[in-house]
Amino acid sequence: MHHDADVERFYTTRAWRACRASVLKKNGGLCQLCLAKGLIEPAVHVHHKIPLTAENVNDPKIALNADNLMALCESCHGEQHRKKRWRCDPSGHVRI
């Protein structure tokens, strides 16, 4: 599944950058999944639990809702996407 151009564009918006920074700050810059296991790992990704698609990218309840986002380390972010049979390229974009 390659991201639609609208989804790619979303990740460059000021709204996304602000939302992402807020999620990272709220979680102390730590990976939420590691923290739940008692591990301390820095978060480098903010992951959408409900993945963004061309159909929902303009819905702020999905795209910018903190309840749909979690701060993750590189390893946990990759694992979340492997569960869905997706992969991330080095810049964090989802690819098959």
pLDDT score of 81: 79
Contact status, residue 71 vs residue 23, Cβ threshold 8 Å: yes
- Domain count of the chain? 1
pLDDT at position 80: 87
Q: Please report the DSSP string for 12-80 in residue order.
A: TSHHHHHHHHHHHHHTTTB-HHHHHTT---B--EEEESS---TTTTT-HHHHS-GGGEEEE-HHHHHHH
Q: Is the pTM of this model over 0.85?
A: no
For the stretch 8-30, pLDDT in tens is 999 999 999 999 999 999 989 99
The residue range of the domain holding 52 is 5-95
